[in-house]
Structure 1
Amino acid sequence: MEKILISYDRNKAIRMINELQEKCNRMNRFIQSIFKENDIPLTAENFHMAIFYPQRIETVYYSVLNEKIKSFPQVLQATARLEAEYAVSSMLKKLNSFELTYSDKQYIVLSETICKVNEDAIKESCKRYLTDEKEIEVYNNIQQAADTLNNLFKNEIPLNWINIFRANNGQLIVNNELNFNYFVNRK
């Protein structure tokens, strides 16, 4: 399929990359820190879960906790689980505070336990293409007209260039009142 790039908003791409990279950096630091504090294994799977499905980290946390306290007396296990509720609540609150939008998530890539920005995907999203055959044909015709006008004016289009033409029955025609000598003697 033929496609023609007609615009690219470079500033928007840079802004999106910088904003998302800042979020990724904060998440990388926080997740590594909170996992260490709570003895949650820092695996690619757990890291992925913390970013995309934070609620599931609760299950991992309790699994680690239950393994640690299984040899404790029942009363201490119950106390540990009650205290864990605060830690889980705090952890989930912070994970959810990153406020990753659907759009953010589609531009994030994970490399093991590091969150990165997919810069190429963001740049591509800031481009606009024509893909429809008829639109491409219209674009090419307009480009050909622009090239011809640039050649006629030797790349110095006068402000009143539109006065060279007149409209007649839906078509452009030459303005017969034009000073043709002006174009001949231009430097």
Structure 2
Amino acid sequence: MEKILISNDSNKAVRMINELQEKCNKVNRVIQSVFNSNDIPLTAENFQTAVFYPQKIESVYYATLNEKIKSFPQVLQVTARQEAEYAVNSMLKKLNSFELTYTDKQYIILSGTTCKVNEAAIKESCKRYLTDAKEIEVYNNIQEAANALNNLFKGEIPLNWINIFRADNGKLIVNDGLNFDYFVNRK
């Protein structure tokens, strides 16, 4: 499939990359801190769950807690689970503070226990292509006209260049009142 790049907003791409990098840095710090303080194993799977489905970390936390307290007397197990509610609420509050939008999540890559920005995907998203054959034909025709006008003006486009033409029955025609000598005798 033929495609023509017609615009590339590199400034927008840089801005998006920088903003998302700040969010990734926060994600990396917060998840590591939350996991360490709550004895949750920092695995790639748990990290991914914390980024994309923070609510599911609650079950990971309780599984870890239940494993640790299984040898405790029943009364202490009940007390530990009740006390865990505060820890879970605090943990979920921190995990939900990332403010990762749906779009953000499309442009991040998880590598083990690290969140990174997919810079190539962001740069590509800031480009605009024509892919439709008819649009490409129109673009090529306009480019051909622009090239012809650039050749005529030789890098010095007059302010009133539009007056070179006039409309007649829906078509552009040469303005026969034009000063042709101007174009012949330019420097």
TM-score category, normalised to shorter length: over 0.9
Structure 1's unaligned 5+ residue stretches are none
Counterpart for residue 140 of structure 2: 140
Counterpart for residue 37 of structure 1: 37
SS of equivalent to 1:97 = helix
1:173 aligns with 2:155: no
Deviations 1:98-155 (A, max 9, x none): 1211101111100000000111111111111111000000000000000010001102
Counterpart for residue 160 of structure 1: 160
SS of equivalent to 2:5 = strand
Give the deviation of 1:84 after TM superposition: 0.7
User: In structure 2, what residue type is equivalent to 1:128?
Assistant: R
Structure 2's unaligned 5+ residue stretches are none
Measure, in 1, the Cα distance between the counterparts of 2:29 and 2:94: 12
Measure, in 2, the Cα distance between the counterparts of 1:176 and 1:70: 97
SS of equivalent to 2:98 = coil
Give the deviation of 1:26 after TM superposition: 0.4
Counterpart for residue 185 of structure 2: 185
Give the deviation of 1:180 after TM superposition: 0.7
SS of equivalent to 1:157 = coil
Measure, in 1, the Cα distance between the counterparts of 2:156 and 2:128: 28
| 1:11-160 to 2 correspondences below 5 Å | 11-160=11-160
Measure, in 2, the Cα distance between the counterparts of 1:20 and 1:7: 22
Give the deviation of 1:9 after TM superposition: 1.4
Segments of 4+ moved more than 3 angstroms: none
Percent sequence identity over aligned pairs: 82
Measure, in 2, the Cα distance between the counterparts of 1:42 and 1:127: 37
The number of aligned residues is 187
Give the deviation of 1:164 after TM superposition: 0.6
Measure, in 1, the Cα distance between the counterparts of 2:106 and 2:164: 50
Counterpart for residue 6 of structure 1: 6
State the TM-score, normalized to the length of structure 1.
Answer: 0.98
Measure, in 2, the Cα distance between the counterparts of 1:127 and 1:184: 40
Measure, in 1, the Cα distance between the counterparts of 2:86 and 2:16: 35
Measure, in 2, the Cα distance between the counterparts of 1:100 and 1:153: 51
Measure, in 2, the Cα distance between the counterparts of 1:123 and 1:83: 47
